[in-house]
């Protein structure tokens, strides 16, 4: 049986592909378990400093939860296991991930995008939370992450009407980083990933850790977290390498430790 989640690493970038194109890359229980295993692999992989998630085919990045699987009783396994929906939206990862959106990113698919740090999308991509049209709601983070990711009025329109927006509108709202032709999608995502990976991996992860909780903690709590992270960074091999490489006028050789 062909894997529903594909994983490969090149130049410190892990490419994770949803491989269920005939079902618009919608998640059932088996696909969720595969994704969770891949996320464990990504997090433990010392060669992977950043990731890209994308979908197979050109119809959809991810249509969210497989509603037929949900109706068959697979909902808890898809929604409420470790890592949250799809084994991804609440997964406690430390490395940045870019969404390369190759088509519609709807419902849980949009919530996967919201879980990523950067987004590249094809011109035909759509983003939306249509759960209200199916008697549900954006319960995998969309209901509160979307208003943090674009102006409130537009987020509320998407959430309450269930109607999607296209890639160009998403770009103008600052929701995504780039809109590109279909044949340039992975090139654009890889370019972003490589621009991340030229930097010290531990420094990138430190910025990510603080940015993620920027709206969830008080200033006092953030300064304490900042101090805790600083102690680990300043004692690292990479923190010693950076200034030496600068003084010697050469590219640094990061070790991620």
Annotated active-site positions, please?
A: 111, 131
**Residues belonging to the chain:** 257
Nearest to 113 by CA among 162, 38, 171, 161: 171
The answer to whether residues 257 and 202 touch, using CB atoms and an 8 Å cutoff, is yes
What angle, 0 to 180 degrees and rounded to 10, lies between the N-to-C axes of helices 108-115 and 142-149? 50
Rg (CA), the chain: 19
Query: Read out DSSP for 96-111?
Result: -EEEEE-SEEETHHHH
161 contact partners, CB below 8 Å, separation of at least 6: 132
Nearest to 197 by CA among 49, 14, 17, 25: 49
- Helix H segments across 17-124? 29-44, 67-69, 75-79, 108-115
């Amino acid at each position: 049986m062909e894997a529903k989640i594909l994983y490969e690493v090149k130049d410190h970038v892990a490419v994770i592909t949803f491989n269920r194109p005939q079902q618009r890359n919608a998640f059932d229980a088996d696909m969720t378990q595969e994704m969770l295993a891949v996320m464990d692999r990504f997090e433990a992989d010392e060669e992977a400093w950043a990731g890209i998630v994308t979908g197979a085919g050109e119809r959809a990045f991810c249509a969210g939860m497989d509603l037929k699987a949900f109706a068959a009783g697979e909902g808890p396994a898809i929604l409420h296991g470790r890592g949250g929906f799809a084994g991804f939206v609440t997964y406690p990862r430390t490395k940045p991930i870019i969404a390369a959106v190759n088509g519609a990113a709807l419902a849980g698919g949009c919530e996967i995008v919201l879980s990523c740090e950067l987004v590249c999308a094809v011109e035909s991509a759509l983003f939306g939370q249509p759960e209200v049209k199916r008697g549900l709601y954006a319960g995998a983070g969309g209901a509160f992450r979307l208003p943090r990711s674009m102006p409130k009025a537009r987020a509320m329109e998407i959430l309450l009407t269930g109607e999607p927006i296209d890639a160009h509108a998403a770009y103008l709202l600052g929701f995504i980083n780039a809109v590109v032709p279909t044949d340039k999608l992975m090139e654009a995502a890889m370019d972003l990933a490589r621009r991340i990976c030229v930097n010290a991996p531990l420094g990138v992860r430190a910025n990510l850790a603080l940015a993620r909780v920027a709206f969830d903690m008080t200033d006092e709590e953030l300064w304490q977290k900042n101090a805790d992270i600083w102690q680990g960074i300043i004692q690292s091999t990479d923190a010693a390498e950076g200034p030496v490489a600068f003084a010697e006028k050469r590219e640094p050789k990061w070790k991620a430790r």
